[in-house]
Amino acid sequence: MTTTLAPAGALQGVTRRFGHTTVLNGLDLEVPRGDIVALLGRSGSGKSTALRILAGLDRDHDGTVHIDGAPSVVFQDSRLLPWRTVAANVRHGLNRVGVDRAEKSERVSEILAEVGLGGREGAYPGELSGGQAQRTSLARALVAEPALLLLDEPFGALDALTRRTMHKLLLRLWDRHGFGVLLVTHDVDEAVALADRVHVLDDGVVAHTEKIDRPRDGGATTDHRRSLLDALGVDHTTEDYSI
Ligand code: ADP
Ligand code: MG
């Protein structure tokens, strides 16, 4: 039975091995309802593996997965069907939802307007910029109103300015809809800018957690960034905070 206190998603004691390599080693991870949780770690630390397990895309593991409903996933590449229009791609997000055609069309139009793509319904993915493609991908993920949104480096391929715009868009959508988010990223600044809680994944477990209050406070933000860089073993006297 689900209670109001149940998390949007959680992993308990999850272990995943590939051959003789243990990538996740009894990982505990929770995304409370309506919270943004960032999973930060070096390349190859197992972030995507953890996200795929939460998404139900990898069942070859030990331990337990708790999920409220069907989560939606956005990856770094938008994974749109190039021969389908923007509207048709977004409508795919409603494939498993039992609503009639008219309501589907209405929900697709609404979410496209929310992500700033009203009027681009008939465009094809090849005609979109990288940012517009990710907006479409976000719309497809959100149209079914999931309780949990799983984001695997969704802004990693975008230029810095577009990335900032997408951060604001994500926060606006989150504020309005209240879904929980697991944001997988290797970008410390992105994690600190967006998340309520940042977990550092190392050696297959959460090695460090940073809780970040809203609204953001400049001084506290600097401290959080330093602690996270320390946890990652990165020299924070350098300018580049991505790892
Ligand atoms: P991250 O997303 O943090 O960069 P991944 O979760 O993609 O890391 O990968 C963690 C480790 O697991 C890496 O060493 C990777 O090579 C390995 N790995 C991931 N998927 C597979 C797979 N399907 N087969 C074998 N090894 C894999
Ligand atoms: Mg990855």
How close is the Cα of 49 to the center of ligand 1, in Å?
A: 6
* pLDDT of res. 23: 98
Q: Evaluate: CB of 53 within 6 angstroms of ligand 1.
A: no
227 close to ligand 1 (CB < 6 Angstrom)? no
Residue 54 pLDDT: 97
Least confident of 99-103, 137-141, 177-181: 99-103
The pLDDT value given to residue 67: 95
For residue 2, pLDDT over 60 is answered with no
The DSSP 8-state label assigned to residue 179 in this structure reads: -
Return the domain boundaries, the chain.
9-71+146-232
pLDDT tens-digit series, residues 210-235: 999 999 998 999 999 999 999 999 88
Q: Following DSSP, what letter does each residue of 52-111 receive, concatenated? A: HHHHTS----EEEEEESS--EEE-SS----TTS-HHHHHHGGGTTS---HHHHHHHHHHH
Probe residue for ligand 1, chosen from 11, 17, 22, 23 as the CB with the greatest number of ligand atoms within 8 Å: 23
pLDDT score of 178: 96
Looking at every residue in the chain, the average pLDDT score rounds to: 94
For the CA of 42, the nearest ligand: 1
Give the pair of three-digit tokens for residue 74.
Answer: 């956005």
Interatomic CA distance for residues 59 and 52, integer angstroms: 9
Judged by DSSP in three states, 168 sits in helix
Rounded to the nearest whole angstrom, what is the distance from the C-alpha of residue 97 to the centroid of ligand 2?
Answer: 29
What contacts 54, CB < 8 A, 6 or more positions away?
9, 11, 29, 65, 67, 71, 148, 150, 182
pLDDT in tens, 177-197: 999 999 999 999 999 999 999
Q: Read off the pLDDT of each residue in 152-171 and give the average, rounded to a whole number.
A: 96
Tell whether ligand 1 has an atom less than 6 A from the beta carbon of residue 41.
Answer: yes
The topology under which CATH files domain 9-71+146-232 is Rossmann fold (3.40.50)
Q: Which of 48, 184, 187 to mutate to test the pocket of ligand 1 (most atoms within 8 A of CB)?
A: 48
Distance from residue 48's CA to the centre of ligand 2 (Å): 4
To which residue do tokens 């190039």 refer? Answer: 82
Ligand 1 centroid – CA 52 distance (Å): 11
Establish whether residue 49 lines the binding site of ligand 1, counting it when its CB lies within 6 angstroms of any ligand atom.
Answer: yes
Q: Tell me, what's the pLDDT at 163?
A: 96
Residue 96: its pLDDT value, please? 86
Rounded distance between C-alpha atoms, residue 89 and residue 230, angstroms: 42
**Taking 60 as the threshold, does the pLDDT of residue 241 lie above it?**
no
Strands (DSSP E) found in 135-235: 148-152, 180-185, 197-202, 205-211
Instruction: Report pTM.
Output: 0.95
Q: Is 185 in the pocket of ligand 1 (CB under 6 A)?
A: no
CA of 77 to the centre of ligand 2 (A): 12
